[in-house]
């Protein structure tokens, strides 16, 4: 049995991963699970999967969990250190990295440094410190398998081809739930509307990122480091139906793409049993029933966040970490209805303008930029607060 750890087991990716584990009894053994503060859901998971060790980053939620799980032998840790410890549990082979946000950087890096292969859904650490993560993965002889559907599609479209023949990567984007909104409509849009994604059911933060197109900005940075390719060779194409998950163009102008219904269990399972495919009992893609696929170029005026992602990558060093932190603060403020939808891009832009980037030589450089940018973005949010 393949022993696995799931970081962020109570979230959307985490529960989809457990769905795959359930579908293939005897193939995977859960040895570690982590979450933020959802002690009730983690308790259910502990009782069902009997991991050796779990952690909640929230200390008081962990104390409640310990109280309720006295009858069990699972060790319950807490705090950021506890989550990072679960990521290194000695007998795990594969760590599913599915925490949301920069909080995943320390545990994901800890998993890599302790010699675990990583199935990476949590894109923010790659944005904050992608070069460092890849260097550490090489040093420790581990692989980082993409889980993000676009990066999994590129990974699959690169298989069996020569890297020297790649001309460009084309990341597809659904355009999110507000694609047709005018600038005025975007200003007044409420979180409950922005959270209604047309194709994907995901956590709140990535759904708002999808609505602003920052998700695609983050994915451009992620692709740069996952596939070691210059930003100038990464394009973005709006594809409303989310059927073509991304494409690779080769030097002879052939394009290889990966298609499928929008269901994260397909890319998750590919990362879990690579290079074999798992026989998932899911509906087949019926292209005749879909009839038509549509494509557009992104509208950078209404959705400036995508270009902020390219800009952070062009500047380099700690700038992508600053962009990511500012985005997390701004999205949270928007979800709490403290700022307007269109303020999200302004908070990120102003934070980037105020940031003096430096090279990332260690994880501390990324964490320091993250801390600085959060403070700056919080001040900007405070000034904008209604
Ligand atoms: N959902 C998708 O379909 C999808 C697709 C592609 C990529 N991704 C990426 O995958 C990651 C997870 O997304 P998601 O949609 O699954 O998010 P989600 O549903 O919000 O779940 C996030 C998970 O992280 C945990 N968590 C939150 N804050 C934490 C902290 N400070 N420390 C430790 N754990 C913490 C949560 O625990 P609690 O439940 O206790 O809060 C939960 O288990 C994101 O980076 C996202 O961009 C997601």
pLDDT in tens, 190-244: 999 999 988 888 999 999 999 999 999 999 999 999 999 999 999 999 999 999 9
Fold of 162-260+284-384: Rna Polymerase Sigma Factor; Chain: A (1.10.1740)
* Residue 253 dihedral angles phi and psi, to the nearest 5°: 70, 10
Alpha-carbon distance 50 to 73, whole Å? 8
Q: Is the CB of 12 under 6 A from ligand 1?
A: yes
Number of CB atoms found within 10 A of residue 257's CB: 17
Ligand 1 contact, 98 CB (< 6 A): yes
Burial of 1 (0-12, 13-18, 19+ CB in 10 A): exposed
**How far is it, in rounded angstroms, from Cα 187 to Cα 352?**
21
Tell me if residue 375 falls in helix, strand or coil.
helix
| CA distance linking residue 316 with residue 314, whole number of Å | 5
Cα separation of 265 and 260, whole Å? 11
pLDDT exceeds cutoff 90 at 385? no
Note every long-range contact of 250-257, with CB atoms under 8 Å and residues 24 or more positions apart, other chains counting: 250/161, 250/165, 250/166, 250/167, 251/165, 251/166, 251/167, 252/165, 253/167, 255/170, 256/157, 256/161, 257/153, 257/157
- Nearest-CA residue for atom 15 of ligand 1: 203
Any ligand 1 atom below 6 A from CB of 122: yes
Ligand 1 and 10: CB distance under 6 A: yes
pLDDT at residue number 198? 87
The pLDDT value recorded for residue 262 is 96
Q: Is the CB of 124 under 6 A from ligand 1?
A: yes
Establish whether residue 119 lines the binding site of ligand 1, counting it when its CB lies within 6 angstroms of any ligand atom: no
What does the mean pLDDT of the chain come to?
A: 97
Q: How many CB atoms lie within 10 A of CB 137?
A: 18
Helix axes 363-384, 105-113, angle to 10 degrees: 170
State which H helix or E strand residue 224 sits in. Answer: helix 214-226
* pLDDT, position 201: 87
Q: Which of 323, 366, 378, 315 has the alpha carbon at shortest distance from 109?
A: 366
Q: Contact at 8 Å (CB) between 43 and 67? A: no
Does ligand 1 lie within 6 Å of residue 8's CB atom? Answer: yes
**Can you tell me which atom of ligand 1 is nearest the CA of 209?**
47
Q: What is the mean pLDDT of residues 259-283?
A: 98
Task: Output the CA 264–ligand 1 centroid distance in Å.
Answer: 13
User: Mind listing the pLDDT tens digit for each residue in 318-375?
Assistant: 999 999 999 999 999 999 999 999 999 999 999 999 999 999 999 999 999 999 999 9
What's the angle, vertex CA 322, arms to CA 96 and CA 352, rounded to 5?
A: 145
pLDDT at 200: 86
**Stated pTM of the model:** 0.97
Decide: 87 in ligand 1 pocket, CB within 6 A: no
CATH class, domain 2-146, is: alpha beta
202 lines ligand 1 (CB under 6 A): yes
DSSP assignments along 252-310, one per residue: TS-EEEEE--S-THHHHHHHHHTTSPP----PPP-HHHH-----B---TTT-THHHHHH
For residue 351 and ligand 1, the question of a CB distance below 6 A is answered with no
The SS3 call for residue 173 is strand
Return the domain boundaries, the chain: 2-146, 162-260+284-384
Q: How far is CA 141 from CA 82, 93, 116, 145, 229, in A?
A: 24, 12, 9, 13, 21
Q: Give the pLDDT confidence score for residue 185 in this predicted structure.
A: 97
User: What was the pLDDT predicted at 318?
Assistant: 98
pLDDT for res 302? 97
**Using a 6 Å cutoff on CB, does residue 13 contact ligand 1?**
yes
Quick one: which atom of ligand 1 is closest to the CA of 35? 37
Q: Would you report the helix, strand and coil content of the chain in percent, each value rounded to 5?
A: 50, 15, 35
CA of 39 to the centre of ligand 1 (A): 15
- pLDDT band of residue 386 (cuts 50, 70, 90) is low
Q: Give pLDDT, residue 324.
A: 98
Q: How much is the average pLDDT of 288-296?
A: 97
Tell me which of 36, 149, 217, 266 to substitute to probe ligand 1's pocket, judged by most ligand atoms within 8 Å of the beta carbon.
36
**Could you tell me which of 215, 189, 194, 5 has the C-alpha nearest to residue 101?**
215
Residue of the nearest CA to atom 8 in ligand 1? Answer: 121
How deeply is 316 buried, as exposed, middle or buried, from its count of CB atoms within 10 A (0-12, 13-18, 19+)? Answer: middle
Both structure tokens of 32? 């570690």
pLDDT at 62: 98
Q: Are 84 and 97 a contacting pair, CB within 8 Å?
A: no
d(CA 80, CA 56): 8
Q: Rounded to an integer, what is the distance from CA 354 to the centroid of its chain?
A: 26
pLDDT at 175 over 90: yes
Q: How far is the CA of 58 from the centre of ligand 1 (A)?
A: 15
Residue 52 and residue 336: Cα distance in Å, rounded?
A: 36
């Amino acid at each position: 049995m393949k022993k696995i750890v799931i970081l962020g087991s109570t979230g959307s990716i985490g529960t989809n991963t457990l769905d795959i584990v359930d579908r293939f009894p005897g193939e995977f053994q859960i040895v570690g699970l982590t979450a933020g503060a959802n002690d009730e859901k983690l308790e259910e998971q502990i009782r069902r999967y009997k991991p050796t060790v779990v952690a909640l980053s929230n200390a008081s939620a962990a104390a409640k969990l310990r109280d309720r799980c006295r009858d069990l032998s699972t060790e319950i840790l807490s705090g950021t250190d506890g989550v990072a410890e679960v990521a290194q549990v000695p007998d795990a082979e594969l760590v599913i990295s599915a925490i949301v946000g920069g909080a995943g950087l320390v545990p994901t890096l800890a998993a890599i440094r302790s010699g675990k292969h990583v199935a990476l859904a949590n894109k923010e650490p790659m944005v904050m410190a992608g070069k460092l993560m890849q260097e550490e993965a090489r040093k420790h002889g581990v692989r980082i398998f993409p889980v993000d559907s676009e990066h999994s599609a590129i990974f699959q479209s690169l298989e069996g081809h020569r890297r020297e023949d790649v001309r460009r990567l084309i990341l597809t984007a659904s355009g999110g739930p507000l694609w047709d909104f005018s600038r005025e409509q975007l200003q007044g849009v409420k979180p409950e509307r922005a959270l209604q994604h047309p194709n994907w059911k995901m956590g709140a933060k990535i759904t708002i990122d999808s609505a602003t197109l920052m998700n695609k900005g983050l994915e451009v940075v992620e692709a740069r480091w996952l596939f070691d390719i210059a930003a100038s060779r990464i394009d973005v194409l709006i594809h409303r139906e989310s059927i073509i998950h991304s494409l690779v163009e080769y030097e002879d102008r052939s394009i290889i793409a990966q298609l499928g219904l929008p269901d994260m269990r397909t890319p998750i399972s590919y990362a879990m049993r690579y290079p074999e495919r798992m026989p998932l009992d899911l509906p087949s893609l019926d292209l005749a029933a879909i009839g038509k696929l549509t494509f557009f170029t992104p509208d950078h005026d209404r959705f400036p966040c995508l270009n902020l992602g390219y800009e952070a990558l062009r500047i380099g060093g700690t700038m992508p970490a600053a962009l990511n932190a500012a985005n997390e603060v701004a999205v949270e403020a928007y979800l709490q209805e403290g700022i307007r939808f269109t303020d999200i891009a302004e908070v990120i832009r102003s934070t980037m303008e105020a940031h003096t980037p430096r090279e990332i030589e260690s994880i501390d450089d990324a964490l320091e930029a993250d801390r600085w940018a959060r403070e700056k973005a919080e001040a900007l949010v405070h000034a904008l607060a209604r």
